[in-house]
Amino acid sequence: MKKEIPKLREYLLFDEKFREIYIYTFDFAKEPNCKGLCFQTAQGLWNLFFLEKYPGIQKIWDDFLNVNIFLEKKKNFIFSYDF
């Protein structure tokens, strides 16, 4: 399985495939009958999918979280996958 990881990372470089995998993961991770993810789950998916694909975005994400610290207290904050 370890041998397949580089192939999978390369596969995610294609925008169409990246979107397909992200939407699948988003749908898998969300609670039934919900349209979005709780804050903590959304944050984990963001780190998993976007920080490697867009390495310069880490500072923007950290700034967003720091400015919107109240979101961390709202565990049911909704993020959608519309992008």
Q: What is the pLDDT of residues 10-60, one digit of tens each?
A: 887 888 888 888 889 889 998 888 888 877 787 788 877 777 777 788 778
What global pTM score does this model have? 0.59
Two tokens at 65? 């979280």
pLDDT given at position 60: 82
pLDDT in tens, 54-80: 778 877 876 776 666 555 555 555 555
User: Rounded CA gap, 51 and 47, in Å?
Assistant: 5
Which pLDDT value is given to residue 82? 58
Instruction: Parse the chain into domains and list their residue ranges.
Output: 2-73
Residue 70's H or E segment, with its range, is helix 70-73
pLDDT number for residue 73: 57
